[in-house]
Structure 1
Amino acid sequence: MAVWDNYAVLLNDQGFCRIYSLDRKELAGSYRLGSFHKNNHANCASFGVEYPEGNMTFPALYVSECRRPYRCFVENVNLDSAKVIQTLQYQAAGGEAQVVHDWIVDREERKLYGVSRLLVPDGNKASDSLRIIRFPLPLLSDGNVTLTAKDVEEQFHIYLPNLLQGGSIRKGILYLPVGLHTGNEHRKDAERAIVMVNLKRQQVTHILNLQEKLMNEPEDVDFHGKHLLLFCGQTGGIYGSNTKIQIIKKHKIYMNIAVILSGGIGSRMGSNIPKQYIMVAGRPIISYCIDKFVQSNEIDALVIALDKQWIDFIQPYVVMLQLPVYYAEPGETRQHTIYNALKLIRSHGGVDDDVVIIHDSVRPLVSSQVIHDCICGCIANDAAIATISVKDTIYMSAEGNCITDVPKRSTLHAGQTPEAFKLGKYLKIHEERSYEEIAAVTGGAEFAFRCGMKVFLSKGEEINFKLTTPEDLERFEQIVNSNQL
């Protein structure tokens, strides 16, 4: 399936094409592609960048053959006909066709990706692996193109033993639909799901589980505005001639929303203004924190919880950000502030599976890796908190004067932020508690844990320290002035 404007191009085995009008919700065209042949297994397609000569309705359509010799047919498609205008193939040095099940165009970067499911050596056995190769996107004027190893710009493998097919790329994320498992070894959480691969990090960052929402396996995906359309075949994954257009499912992709807590006073710093607004090298501390989240490329929206009097002060540092920014009012306690932010996110369309990443504005040295690990830990569980190992021996004393217990140091972890929570579950436990109960909360992750949420301990870093005292501020200034950020 491929989506352009208000049309979805649906393919079946062999290369039969149906064009569906998304706004009129009716069939707009039906015909055989130029690449139609009986051994073709074409159910993956993506639109390219260039428009074929004489066609201003659709860009060139890149259709994956999916079976040997694993070609990519570039077609000039209209509402009533199509013809092949270019053929692409990946070959080894000896001329042997290399396996590429799905050819996917990254329109934003003008790249062509080849995705293949392979068996690779893994100790004494062979394991399923997904190979992802990046090529430059050939021009239509190049004619038929044979790609070789010298054209490979980058390639990597990810382990996922489920059946993946089709895909779409947006903002550096490869969205792969996952069908039924193919053997005894598989991941249940990735069966009838959407796997999201960060192409820069070369790793799976999200798995959107759709088992309860889809009866049939998704066979391809593409974007229509801010929504992802799922093309689902009949039971067993077969798209037959009698399949109905209603098999298209619309699902809003969940978001990662950062909440920066900036309502504290910071009395221990001894400053006449809240410590997050202290200027360091010409910028307030909070601006360093915001930059860290924006630079992580993991965040879709930003919520800053702060007193209204400081909005104009920080506005110059957020006005140029390429993502939505919202302001939440601080509450009487830290947890009430978090609750206000959660309600704000819900009021702006937040869904249950959205990941809310909460961070202290006075931890300005948080790294992209810490943010990433916390988000991934939350996605796989209900929540996550960045932690570091405890180095010193901890003694417990019931009365405060004699040791009553010495817990194992290996079981102890010191909490930091960020903390990440699935919006639906975290908001619900707040809604079910009284104002006084929320006021008594001393830690967001502790609250989630005591309310039955599964909280993952993600990896923090020593450098992610909190600016609490003048000594902390001096240490941060030294790091900034030495250009170690």
Structure 2
Amino acid sequence: MTQQLPEYAIIVAGGSGTRMQHDLPKQFIEVAGKPILMHTIERFYKYNSAVRLIVVLPQEQLTSWRELCRKHSFKLFHMTVAGGTTRFGSVKNGLDAVMGDGLIAVHDGVRPFVDVETIKGAYEAAAKYGSAVVAVPPKDSIRELTGEGSRAVPRAKYKMVQTPQVFQASILRKAYEQSEQEYFTDDASVVESIGQPITLVEGSYRNIKITTPEDLILAEAFATTD
């Protein structure tokens, strides 16, 4: 019988409240009575209470987060790590806290409605193929910008990428040994750059990333139906 690899989750929460038009960093804004980031952590614990959680926050937000945990009596165990100046740097700092082999999910701190089934499917695919990136088909028509204007493209050939993105630890470590590049928009692009194929797994339209005031309205609606 194959021994199951330890499961880690690096939850990257480095956002500000600028686009949200809010004084608080977006991961600290309350939805259904508690900060968004707490909802996100709870999703991974619901999937697997033994998951080893690493929450990456800007250095200046670590004290605020500890105070919020006390205020909300939030006791789910997790490690906190100071982030870097970019998302690439923050994931790299989170990786430094992972010891030995395992499967590592990288997830946006402001995606609090990821389904347990989605998380499970991503870990299982990564264990088999080395990588697993959650994605959904686009709902809207897509146009590609060209030198002459734009042109329609078949949306069936495209996917909208979400998180979690899960990788075998050795693969993710190797990918993050390189220097940061402008075209690194997510972990899949970092891993793909070292020649590692990317496996897509089915996501969910409920797995929204909360970045604007309109997203908060949707988040409150989702929270009441969970």
- TM-score, normalised via structure 1 length: 0.43
| Correspondence for 2:88 among 325, 335, 345 | 335
Amino acid at match of 1:421: F
1:371 aligns with 2:99: no
Percent identity at matched positions? Answer: 28
Counterpart in the other structure of 2:52: 301
Contact (CA 8 Å) 1:390, 1:412: kept in 2 or not? Answer: yes
Amino acid at match of 1:479: F
Deviations 1:7-27 (A, max 9, x none): xxxxxxxxxxxxxxxxxxxxx
Contact (CA 8 Å) 1:378, 1:455: kept in 2 or not? Answer: no
1:421 aligns with 2:167: yes
Amino acid at match of 1:264: G
Contact (CA 8 Å) 1:257, 1:299: kept in 2 or not? Answer: no
* Distance apart, 1:440 and its partner CA: 5.0
Contact (CA 8 Å) 1:385, 1:416: kept in 2 or not? Answer: yes
| Correspondence for 2:13 among 262, 266, 269 | 262
**Residues of 2 paired with 1:400 and 1:358: CA distance?**
38
Amino acid at match of 1:309: T
Contact (CA 8 Å) 1:265, 1:273: kept in 2 or not? Answer: yes
**Residues of 1 paired with 2:202 and 2:49: CA distance?**
17
1:344 aligns with 2:85: no
The alignment partner of 2:143 has SS state of coil
Where in structure 1 are there 5+ consecutive unaligned residues? 1-176, 178-193, 195-207, 209-252
Contact (CA 8 Å) 1:293, 1:299: kept in 2 or not? Answer: no
| Correspondence for 2:69 among 315, 320, 326 | 315
Residues 423 and 314 of structure 1: CA distance in aligned 2, closer, same or farther (over 3 Å):
farther
| Correspondence for 1:461 among 192, 196, 204 | 204
Where in structure 2 are there 5+ consecutive unaligned residues? none
| Correspondence for 1:359 among 107, 114, 118 | 107
Contact (CA 8 Å) 2:143, 2:150: kept in 1 or not? Answer: no
* Distance apart, 1:337 and its partner CA: 0.5
**Residues of 1 paired with 2:73 and 2:6: CA distance?**
19
**Residues of 2 paired with 1:327 and 1:384: CA distance?**
24
Residues 300 and 474 of structure 1: CA distance in aligned 2, closer, same or farther (over 3 Å):
same
Residues 407 and 281 of structure 1: CA distance in aligned 2, closer, same or farther (over 3 Å):
closer
Residues 468 and 311 of structure 1: CA distance in aligned 2, closer, same or farther (over 3 Å):
closer
Contact (CA 8 Å) 1:430, 1:438: kept in 2 or not? Answer: no
**Residues of 2 paired with 1:273 and 1:291: CA distance?**
21
Amino acid at match of 1:292: R
Deviations 1:25-59 (A, max 9, x none): xxxxxxxxxxxxxxxxxxxxxxxxxxxxxxxxxxx
* Distance apart, 1:453 and its partner CA: 1.3
The alignment partner of 1:269 has SS state of coil
Counterpart in the other structure of 1:211: none
**Residues of 2 paired with 1:298 and 1:372: CA distance?**
13
Deviations 1:351-379 (A, max 9, x none): 2xx11111111111111001011111111
1:277 aligns with 2:25: no
* Distance apart, 1:473 and its partner CA: 0.3
Give runs of aligned pairs for residues 17-416 of structure 1, distance below 5 A: 177=1, 194=2, 208=3, 254-297=5-48, 299-307=50-58, 308-316=62-70, 320-321=75-76, 324-345=77-98, 349-351=99-101, 354-399=102-147, 401-403=149-151, 406-416=152-162
- TM-score, normalised via structure 2 length: 0.90
* Distance apart, 1:478 and its partner CA: 2.6
In terms of fraction of residues, the more helix-rich structure is 2
Contact (CA 8 Å) 1:335, 1:438: kept in 2 or not? Answer: no
In terms of fraction of residues, the more strand-rich structure is 1
Counterpart in the other structure of 1:18: none
* Distance apart, 1:272 and its partner CA: 0.6
**Residues of 2 paired with 1:329 and 1:407: CA distance?**
41
Residues 473 and 357 of structure 1: CA distance in aligned 2, closer, same or farther (over 3 Å):
same
**Residues of 1 paired with 2:157 and 2:20: CA distance?**
32
Counterpart in the other structure of 1:100: none
* Distance apart, 1:477 and its partner CA: 1.5
**Residues of 1 paired with 2:49 and 2:188: CA distance?**
21
Contact (CA 8 Å) 1:335, 1:439: kept in 2 or not? Answer: no
The alignment partner of 1:402 has SS state of strand
